[in-house]
């Protein structure tokens, strides 16, 4: 009896070990049934649904405001009225970071949705899973889409163009006797003047407990200082991209000066975005650096926007230098090539941008990425743009494979670095030197020339 | 008899069938796949996984200073929880006495353990908030404004703050465990000891403590495992920040997988934590065994 048990246990263990270790050695395929050469529906095995067959499309988004408007404007019902055989289920991720994590897991288990609202950097990351939309008529209506093509393929159609703004309260600026700054040093001086005039007022609300709030300074500003929207790709080509003289080095030292001025309040790392925005909405903070969609949060906080104004973040050294501003696209609608209903997904995409988008974009505090859809910004934002007719727009790119691989290898996290720079005694020069060493080694290890 | 024994075997086999299948599917197989993945480089998205042998393990020890910094943060949880174990034992002993309100106290002590961990962490992040945080308001009310600190953003104290939340959550569980074990000691042994002239301390040291040694061992193991796997509290309250100041081994492992797209290395870290738990437990057991021998009981 005992020997039978031992034999049974041995057989079970052997079976398990064999199945688990059977893949060792060489290269493995992960479990997803991806056709990595997919360039369009013609190469995918999915066939359009037969007439009358009910099809359900799953559309994953991260934008809370978009989800709210989909519900309030009854987007799904409108589409289903036009296409009775296609149902759309909207799935809302907590935020873009959580959506990206979820997509990685779902890719491994072949459970990707049909459609997704991507961030720009996700196009490269998920390029093996996205359908090439270059041949769609819609792509021709979106001039920006080609700018973000990956390996010559348009993998997503953005719905909006973003700008970054410094929101401020005009009445507070008047009260403290400060005006809109023209240069970076003036921006720091403006914040310092507010702090001196009223120690209880937070000059710039940051909310750095949520690390992503440092992105205007750590992710976007380096591209403006370097005058290179493709900065991350350029860095992937260099061994020492953080060295003195490089755009990112200069930009981070500028941010270091802002941090040294202690203008983010008594505990910027102790509060997150929600709390920081609440402080700003209640006029306990004078400025907030965020994209136009920040106004959505202010409205949710029932802020009185009567005296709200904005200006473009001045990253130039002197008034004689060009005034560069960030330009970026967001919310790229993409189709996964693992979808069984690619044709239906394209039908939805066409319908969305033709019939729903023109009304939807009017409610978003961003510019339209579709050329034939007119969009005026909220006066608070338009005024800031109009005050800079000479501004040079630097279109932002999220980086390519090389940059992403080096970033993963070196564990370079620019948003976390922005928070670390807020800690007392942080040595930026030492960190940049360490990053350069790690960057050089990573490029060598990864065989990037 | 034969039919009864066969029926019993069949009943046991059927009862265990589903749990064993679940164990194999959701514990054993994923664990073995985790081990397999630790020998590969994979970004979590690509179709291909590249076999790299022991490269991940070499890099784990040579090229991950932030990871070992995270382990130092785990150590803080371990030390603080260990220091509280004698207090928890003391409370449990007090609860065995027929004190007024001991039942209510037992329920109150255990309640934090049954509340969802994420909810607790979320609530405490507002408790320690620098803006209208309850803790700072309490200190102000007591005239202790000069004690106010940046509880969640000062690298020097953030781990102590988070450890205090962990102690609040898990102490009650330990107290109830100890209490249940103490209750299992037959009363006549303690009565006999009393008759023989043993005082309260002698009864505790010579009778109660040795009798509940298995539960103490279990609690110490849970302490090691919990400290090394600490995740929900720092994740919700600080996301491991500021920087990596409150990052723990598990948090860093998750960042390695999902932020830095290195599932192979993250698998290696997960294996390392299992080995670490086993090693620390073995050392702890040795230390406790020596202490027991020197204390005169096994």
DSSP chain B: -HHHHHHHHHHHHHHHHHHHHHHIIIIIHHHHHHHHHTTEE--SSSSEEEE-TTHHHHHHHHS-HHHHHHHHHHHHHHHHHHHHHHHHHHHHHHHHS--TTHHHHHHHHHHHHHS-HHHHHHHHHHHT-TTT-HHHHHHHHTT-GGG---TTT-TTTHHHHHHHHHHHHHHHHHHHHHHHHHHTS-HHHHHHHHHTT--HHHHIIIIIHHHTHHHHHHHHHHHHHHHHT--HHHHHHTTT-STTTT--HHHHHHIIIIIS--HHHHHHHHHHHHHHHHHHHHHHHHHHHHHHHHHT--
Contact call for B47 and A413, based on CB within 8 A: no
pLDDT band with cut points at 50, 70 and 90 for residue B97:
confident
Chain B hits for A27, Cβ within 8 Å: 48-51
Contact call for A20 and B35, based on CB within 8 A: yes
Contact call for A267 and B28, based on CB within 8 A: no
Specify the range with the lowest mean pLDDT, choosing from A46-60, A95-109, A317-331, A399-413.
A46-60
pLDDT for A44 equals 38
pLDDT band with cut points at 50, 70 and 90 for residue B1:
low
Task: Give pTM, 2 decimals.
Answer: 0.83
Q: What is the rounded average pLDDT of the residues A426-440?
A: 96
pLDDT band with cut points at 50, 70 and 90 for residue A2:
low
Residue A326 predicted with pLDDT over 70: yes
Chain A hits for B47, Cβ within 8 Å: 29-30, 32, 34, 36, 128
pLDDT for A218 equals 97
Both structure tokens of B204: 């505790």
Chain B hits for A26, Cβ within 8 Å: 51
Task: Give me the count of residues in chain B.
Answer: 298
pLDDT for A29 equals 45
Q: How many CB pairs under 8 A join A and B?
A: 114
Name the residue in chain B with its Cα closest to that of A36.
Answer: B47
Q: What is the rounded average pLDDT of the residues B263-284?
A: 91
Please give the ipTM for the structure prediction.
0.80
Contact (CB, 8 A) for A69 and A359: no
- On whether any CB of chain B is under 8 Å from the CB of A17, the answer is yes
Contact (CB, 8 A) for A248 and A235: yes
Contact call for B130 and A26, based on CB within 8 A: no
Report which of residues A384 and A95 the model is more confident about. A384
The alpha carbon of residue A231 and the mean position of all alpha carbons in its chain are separated, in whole angstroms, by 16
Of A21, A27, A270, the CB nearest to B152: A270
Name the residue in chain A with its Cα closest to that of B237.
Answer: A209
Q: What is the rounded average pLDDT of the residues A300-324?
A: 95
Chain A hits for B48, Cβ within 8 Å: 27-30
Chain A hits for B40, Cβ within 8 Å: 28
- On whether any CB of chain B is under 8 Å from the CB of A33, the answer is no
Give me the residues paired with residue A348 across strands: none
Name the residue in chain B with its Cα closest to that of A412.
Answer: B260
């Amino acid at each position: 009896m005992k020997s039978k048990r031992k034999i049974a246990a041995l057989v079970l263990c052997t079976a398990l070990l064999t199945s688990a270790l059977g893949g060792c050695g060489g290269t493995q395929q992960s479990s997803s049934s991806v056709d990595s050469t997919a360039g369009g529906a013609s190469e995918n095995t999915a066939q359009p649904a037969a007439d009358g067959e009910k099809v359900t499309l799953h559309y994953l988004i991260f934008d809370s405001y978009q989800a709210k408007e989909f519900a309030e404007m009854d987007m799904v019902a409108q589409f289903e009225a036009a296409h009775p055989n296609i149902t759309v289920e909207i799935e809302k991720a907590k935020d873009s970071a959580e959506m990206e994590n979820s997509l990685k897991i779902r890719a491994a288990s072949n459970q990707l949705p049909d459609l997704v609202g991507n961030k720009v950097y996700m196009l490269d990351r998920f390029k093996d899973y996205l359908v090439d939309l270059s041949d769609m008529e819609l792509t021709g209506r979106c001039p920006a889409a080609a700018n973000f093509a990956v390996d010559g393929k348009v993998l997503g159609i953005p719905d909006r163009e973003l700008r970054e703004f410094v929101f401020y309260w005009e009445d507070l600026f008047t009260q403290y006797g400060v005006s809109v700054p023209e240069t970076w040093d003036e921006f720091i001086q403006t914040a310092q003047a507010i702090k001196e005039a009223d120690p209880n007022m937070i000059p710039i609300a940051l909310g750095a407990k949520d690390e992503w709030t440092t992105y205007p300074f750590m992710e976007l500003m380096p591209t403006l200082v370097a005058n290179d929207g493709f900065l991350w790709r350029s860095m992937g080509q260099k061994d020492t991209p953080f060295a003195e003289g490089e755009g990112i080095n200069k930009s981070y030292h500028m941010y270091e000066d802002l941090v040294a001025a202690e203008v983010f309040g008594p505990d910027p790392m102790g509060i997150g975005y929600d709390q920081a925005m609440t402080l700003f909405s209640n006029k306990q903070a004078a400025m907030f650096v965020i994209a136009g969609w920040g106004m959505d949060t202010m409205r949710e906080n029932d802020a009185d926007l009567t005296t709200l104004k904005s200006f473009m973040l001045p990253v130039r050294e002197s008034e004689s230098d060009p005034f560069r501003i960030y330009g970026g696209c967001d919310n790229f609608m993409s189709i996964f090539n693992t979808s069984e209903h690619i044709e239906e997904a394209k039908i939805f995409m066409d319908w969305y941008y033709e019939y729903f988008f023109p009304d939807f974009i009017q409610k978003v505090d961003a510019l339209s990425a579709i050329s034939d859809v007119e969009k005026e910004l909220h006066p608070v934002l338009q005024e800031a743009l109009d005050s800079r007719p000479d501004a040079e727009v630097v279109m932002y790119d999220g980086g390519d494979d090389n940059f992403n691989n080096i970033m993963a290898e070196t564990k370079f996290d620019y948003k976390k670095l922005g928070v670390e720079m807020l800690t007392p005694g942080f040595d930026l020069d030492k960190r940049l030197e360490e990053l350069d060493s790690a960057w050089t080694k990573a490029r060598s290890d990864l065989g990037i020339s | 008899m034969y039919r009864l024994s066969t029926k019993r075997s069949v009943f046991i086999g059927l009862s265990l069938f589903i749990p064993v299948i679940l164990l194999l599917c959701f514990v054993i197989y994923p664990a073995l796949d985790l081990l397999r993945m630790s020998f590969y480089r994979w970004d979590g998205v690509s179709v291909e996984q590249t076999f790299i042998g022991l490269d991940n393990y070499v890099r784990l020890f040579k090229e991950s200073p932030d990871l070992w910094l995270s382990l130092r943060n785990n150590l803080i949880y371990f030390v603080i929880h260990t220091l509280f174990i004698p207090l928890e034992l003391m409370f449990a002993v007090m609860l065995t006495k027929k004190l007024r309100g001991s039942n209510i106290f037992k329920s109150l002590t255990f309640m934090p353990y049954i509340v969802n961990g994420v909810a607790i962490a979320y609530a405490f992040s507002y408790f320690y908030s620098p803006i209208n945080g309850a803790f700072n308001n309490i200190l102000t009310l007591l005239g202790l404004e000069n004690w106010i600190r940046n509880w969640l953003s000062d690298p020097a104290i953030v781990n102590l703050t988070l450890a205090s939340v962990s102690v609040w959550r898990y102490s009650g569980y330990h107290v109830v465990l100890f209490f249940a074990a103490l209750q299992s000691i037959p009363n006549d042994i303690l009565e006999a000891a009393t008759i023989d002239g043993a005082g309260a301390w002698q009864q505790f040291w010579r009778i109660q403590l040795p009798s509940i040694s298995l539960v103490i061992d279990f609690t110490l193991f849970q302490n090691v495992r919990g400290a090394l796997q600490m995740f929900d509290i720092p994740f919700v309250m600080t996301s491991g920040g500021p920087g990596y100041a409150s990052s723990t081994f598990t948090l860093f492992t998750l960042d390695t997988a999902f932020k830095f797209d290195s599932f192979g290395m993250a698998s290696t870290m997960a294996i390392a934590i299992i080995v670490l738990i086993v090693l620390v437990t073995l050392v702890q057991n040795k230390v406790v065994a020596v202490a027991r021998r020197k204390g005169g009981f096994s």
